[in-house]
Every structure is written in structure tokens, then in C-alpha cells.
Amino acid sequence: METLLNDALLQQGGASVSKSACRVLIIPVILYLAFALAVWVFQRRLIYFPTKLSPQRAESLATKEGFRAWRNKSGEIIGWHWAARSPATGAVLIVHGNAGSAIDRSYLAQPVHAAVPVDVYVLEYPGYGARSGAPSQSTILAAADEAFATLGGRSPLYIVSESLGTGAAAHLARKQDRKIAGLVLIAPYDKLVSVGQRQMPFLPVGLMMRDRFNPVDWLKDYRGPVKVVLAEVDRSIPATLGQKLYDRYNGPKSIEIIRGADHNDISEQTPEWWKDVFAFLETNR
């Protein structure tokens, strides 16, 4: 009888241990799934960081920077324009990164404008600045298409992108390959999924990500000149991803890796630097 009682107690104790072990295993799984669900639901808030402005505030800031409003056919501000100081020999479209707004990009527009006699346009993404809507891959690419159409066949037309804007630049080069005279890609990436996977290696980003900008594939048929600029110690978009994009590109290309620089250290360059960039683009287009 005593033996049977001991056996029963052992079995009961073993069951308790098993339940405890299950709880120890289940709780982390539940927390992981809850975190993954939150990332999936709010993923666009982890990608896009717009500064929003009223139209009045935006135009006031633009005036201080020397910009004029760039409007579509319906009169909506879709970006900002800086006219060439002398008769324009072409146009430059700037597609910016994921934070701030187009009005913040005078550090790109000013030296380009000073370097070459071109009209400079900075595209505003939906949901950024004074522009209505919400940012996503589909809305940003649609805005890029509208911007291209609004420029009315300006030639030559160059595109300068930084960071997230790589996707918009590659998209236009894919669709308008013969009309895009050259690209300057600052802190680019091969695929946005690659960036997300580097930032969250513990999640199946390739399965979860909805906005999948894919420059490495979108540029496979483009043959215009491409200048790639990388930050050696980029903590936002590792330089290896930009290097992959560069290595896979089959047209005329040039790469510059800025030693010791991080992500936000490389966009601001001198007019002299930009003169060299445009000399490369013009020679190879």
C-alpha cells in the first residue's frame, strides 16, 4: 500500500514538473508571437518617419530655403523647385529618405544647384510635409510616376536618391529607362527586406514585410550611369547591401565608400564634389 501511494505521489509530482516546463516554454512563444504581430500591424510606422506641416508653414519654410512650390495639375503641392540660375541644361529629381520631409533636403538641392545649371526638384512623399495621404510603397511609387509625368519630358533628367528613395529611383529607371540620364544613389540598399532583416534578425521579415522595394531587380535592365555612395560604418543600411546593389548592376558605374562615415554623414557634399559626379554621369550617358 505504501509503495502504491509513493508511486502516485511521484506521478503527481512529475505531472506538476511537466506543466511547469510547458509554462516556461509557452510563455516566451506567446510573447514572441505577440511581438511579431505588433511589428506586422505597425510595420509602416517602423519604416516611415514623416514630418507633417501645414501648407502655410511649409511654404514659409520653403521661402527661407529659396524653394518654390512644385504643384501638380490639381494645384496640390507635390514637392519643391529650385530653378537654374542660368538657362537650364537639364533637370534633377531628388527622392529623399524615410524621415523628415522634402523641405529638409536643401543640403542636397543647394550644392547640386550650385554645381550645374539644372532645375532641381525635390519630391514630397504622400503623408510627408504638407502633402495628404499616407506613405507606403504603392503611394510613393505612384507619387514618383506623377512627378516624372509632371516634369514633362525634361531632358536630360537625372535622379538623386538617398536611403529609402533608392526604391523610387530604381522604379523610375525601370519604367523610364531611356528617359533617365543617370542615377546618384546615396546610402542605397539591394532590397528593403534585406534592411529589415538586418534590423530584426530574429523575425521572418521576408514573410512579414508588405513594402518590398526591390532596387536590385528593378535596375537589372537599366543601362544608364549609376553613382553609388556608401557610408563605411552605416548602422541603418549596412554598406554591404549597397555594395550588393553596385556589384549586380551591369551598366556604367562608379562607387565611393566614405571611410568612417555613418548613415547621416554622407548626403551633404560640396558643389565641387557634385561637379565631378555630373561629369561622370554626362560622360557615360
Question: Over the stretch 65-121, which tens digit does the pLDDT of each residue have?
Answer: 889 999 998 899 999 999 998 899 999 999 999 999 999 999 999 999 999 999 999
Q: Considering only CA atoms, which of 183, 152, 144, 149 is closest in space to residue 88?
A: 152
Cα angle 25, 29, 32; round to 5: 145
Q: What is the pLDDT of residues 131-181, one digit of tens each?
A: 999 999 999 999 999 999 999 778 899 999 999 999 999 999 999 988 999
Q: pLDDT band for 12, please (50, 70, 90 cuts).
A: low
Task: State the fold for domain 50-284.
Answer: Rossmann fold (3.40.50)
Q: Considering only CA atoms, which of 139, 148, 136 is closest in space to residue 192?
A: 136
Between 31 and 232, the more confident residue is 232
The mean per-residue pLDDT over the stretch 36-53 comes to 93
Domain spans, the chain: 2-41, 50-284
Q: Print burial letters for 231-242: b (CB count within 10 Å at least 16), e (below 16).
A: beebebbbbebb
Q: Mapping DSSP to helix (H, G, I), strand (E, B) and coil, where does residue 143 land?
A: helix
